[in-house]
Structure 1
Amino acid sequence: MRFSPALSPALLRTTRLALVSCGLIALLAGCGGDDVTAVPQRIAVSASPNGIAVRAADGALFITDDQTNGVLSSPDGHTFSHYATVPVVAGQANSLSQLSFADAGTLMIERFGFGTASAVFGITGVDAITPLSGPDPARRRLGLISIGSNRLLSTWFVKSGSTPPQGGLSLITYDPNAHTAVERDLLSGLGKPVGVAVSGDTVYVSDQANNTIVKSSLSALLGGSQAVAPSATLVQINSPDLMAVDASGTLYTKCNTTGLCRIAPDGTIRVLANDFQDARGVAVDARRHQLYAIDRAGSTSGTSYVRIFPLN
């Protein structure tokens, strides 16, 4: 931009400052029409969080906590307290994965399990938690999403020693009364699938081992007789993690070492923020036009945050 010589030095400085500020806000919050409209809030949490979910009815937030091996809840997105404890596995570190609200308001959660003790649980209220019998405990589980009718999509991988991980996406169909479940593989040939999101008939899976986000037709997968390879790659992206998707089909996930990115349906990538310690779970609150993202501390002495990005 060229400045008129008629402008005073003070006005020039003010104009330049405004342009620089808009440039910074555009990177983090979107000047000129991006979907993020303000600088994000940063809420400190006394936890080691990973997964996050928002209850659509009232906007309450739920996060996993590896310090207590439990779930914390917050009615206002700022103050978190105990909600439920997931059974601990003796001799294993605590590692809880994604959260997802299912039929009748049940909160579903996965335990990673380190190759021997993964599990899926349903939480119907404070400290009312029940495991589902049936899913393979040898699968290290990370992503989880409800697709209705007592059905879940679960990402997982298996690993032996130093061999590369091999993973896939499965359908878990469960009986909420008997707490039993049947698991059927939908996608195969992935490395370390982490996040999963569904937009319309498209299911997206982030493959952290291969630095990709792949996509397939959900109806085709559900109607198939056996697991298949993903039909296409949406985008190559470094270090994708858990994912969320908004009403426009835009995905949100970790990118690079310290970033949080949005990926448009055409594969265009934009960095929303590049100052995360470790971006983990993300959740979209469509009713309140907000994006929530976990910023996990890199050490036990650090502070973790829930970060809130207002959306158009």
Structure 2
Amino acid sequence: MRLSASLQRTARLALVSCGLIAALAGCAHNKPAVAPQRVAVSASANGVAVRPLDGAVFITDDQTSSVLSSSDAHTFAHYASVPTVAGQPASLSQLSFTDDGALMVARFGFGTAGAVFGIIGADQVVAFSGPDPSRRRLGLISIGSHHLLSTWFIKNGNNPPQGALSLITYDPATHTATERDLLTGLGKPVGIAISGDTVYVSDEANNNIVEASLNRLLGASQPVTLRTVFVQINGPDLLAVAPDGALYTKCNATGLCRIAPDGTITVLANNLQNARGIAVDMLRGKLYAIDRASHNGSTSYLHILPLR
């Protein structure tokens, strides 16, 4: 199995379009500087995604177990509710758009109710049957042709978490799904990002980001245990990747970091409460980062930074 044609086209465009890379990476001349912005959001936010077509921004809200949307990244309104579980707090995952415009999200589930949902329009939410509800899900990314990559882990008592990266194949008509493990032996895998044939997974328990060949994982007859540690980093969380191959994620207790393709780490900000979801809008040259409130009563923020 190979990456979808649309994903490959996106990667090729990112590499060959000088005009696009100039807009994103700052290689164009006489461009006015864009100051970072910090927008307060009335939500217990975690995941964030940008709709490529129009640049609309979507965030999750664990207060209401819902997804909020904004056309300007400043004023957010209800978009869709994700089903809750009685007696269990809400906790939603990384957000990801599919090729056909559906928005995918997972419910963490706390070891009993993990689930994957497709949002095909405002308050049009479908649950996919099949994925194991005992898996605590955090990362989710579409790779086209009705396929998703999901990070998950199992936690039993005081034992260390055991996690993996899996492939979910779903039927949009019947809402059924199958799941097979691709990369095992992880601790607490959180975020997922893809650059070309490389898939990156942040492992919070082991304070690192690992990398592997996606085509190798997809073509293997059994789950792969061998992987390469791309970089050691303290407390990584959800991931995003820019067209130049740079990764963005949480680092340390209050940081947001850029990780260059050669592994060089640069701290972009060091005053966040709790960096969570990251999204790259490559067409508009923006980086979005969720700064989740550290405790009840404090305010969450959406940071908007120019891509360098």
TM over 0.5: yes
Match of residue 303 from structure 1 = 299
What corresponds to 1:14 in structure 2? none
Alignment partners' CA distance in 1, 2:205 and 2:35: 32
What is the TM-score of this pair, normalised by structure 1?
Answer: 0.88
Distance across 2 between alignment mates of 1:243 and 1:306: 15
Give, as a single letter, the amino acid of the residue that structure 1 aligns with 2:240. A
CA-atom RMSD in angstroms: 1.5
> For each residue in 1:58-80, what CA deviation from the matched residue of structure 2 results, as whole angstroms up to 9, or x when unmatched?
00000000010100000111100
- Structure 2: runs of 5 or more not aligned: 1-24
1:39 CA displacement = 3.6
**What are the superposed Cα offsets for residues 178-200 of structure 1, whole Å, 9 maximum, x if unpaired?**
10111010000000000000000
The alpha-carbon deviation at position 306 of structure 1 amounts to: 0.5
Asked if the contact 1:143/1:242 (under 8 Å) is kept, the reply is yes
Matching residue within 207, 211, 225 for 1:211: 207
Q: For residue 231 of structure 1, report the CA deviation from its aligned partner.
A: 2.3
Identify the residue that residue 83 of structure 1 maps to in structure 2. Answer: 79
Is the CA contact 1:239–1:255 (under 8 Å) kept in the aligned structure 2?
yes
SS at match of 2:95: strand
**TM-score (ref. length: structure 2):** 0.89
Match of 2:278? 282
Percent sequence identity over matched residues? 69
Match of 1:245 in 2: 241
Matches within 5 A, 1:176-255: 176-255=172-251
Post-superposition CA distance 1:147-184 (Å, at most 9, x none): 00110000000010000000000000111111011101
The match for 2:122 is: 126
List structure 1 runs of 4+ shifted beyond 2 angstroms: 30-33
Distance 1:230 1:39 in 2: 42
1:175/1:32 CA distance change after superposition, 3 Å: closer
**Counterpart of 2:110 in 1: which secondary structure?**
helix
C-alpha distance in 1, partners of 2:264/2:99? 33
Indicate how the Cα distance of structure 1 residues 289 and 178 shifts in structure 2: closer, same or farther if over 3 A, else same.
same
Q: Deviations over 1:270-306 (max 9, x none)?
A: 0000000000000000000000000011111101000
Partner of 1:164: 160
**Structure with larger Rg:** 1
Question: Which segment is superposed worse, 226-235 or 90-99?
Answer: 226-235
Task: Please give the residue correspondences for 1:15-164 in structure 2 after superposition, counting only pairs within 5 Å.
Answer: 38-164=34-160
CA distance in 2: counterparts of 1:147 and 1:246, whole angstroms:
16
Task: Give the Cα separation in 2 of the matches to 1:230 and 1:88.
Answer: 36
Instruction: Measure how far apart 1:229 and its partner are.
Output: 1.9
TM-superposed deviation, 1:32? 11
Task: Name the aligned partner's letter for residue 238 of structure 1.
Answer: N
C-alpha distance 309-150 of structure 1, shift in aligned 2 (>3 A): same
Indicate the residue corresponding to 1:19 in structure 2: none
Structure 1's unaligned 5+ residue stretches are 1-29
Q: The residue matched to 2:46 in structure 1 has which SS?
A: coil
> What one-letter code is carried by the residue in structure 2 that aligns with 1:166?
Q
Q: Tell me by how many angstroms 1:40 deviates.
A: 1.3
Displacement after TM superposition at 1:228 (Å): 1.1
Partner of 1:268: 264
Verify the 8 A CA contact 1:215 1:230 in the aligned structure 2. no
Please name the residue that 2:4 is paired with: none
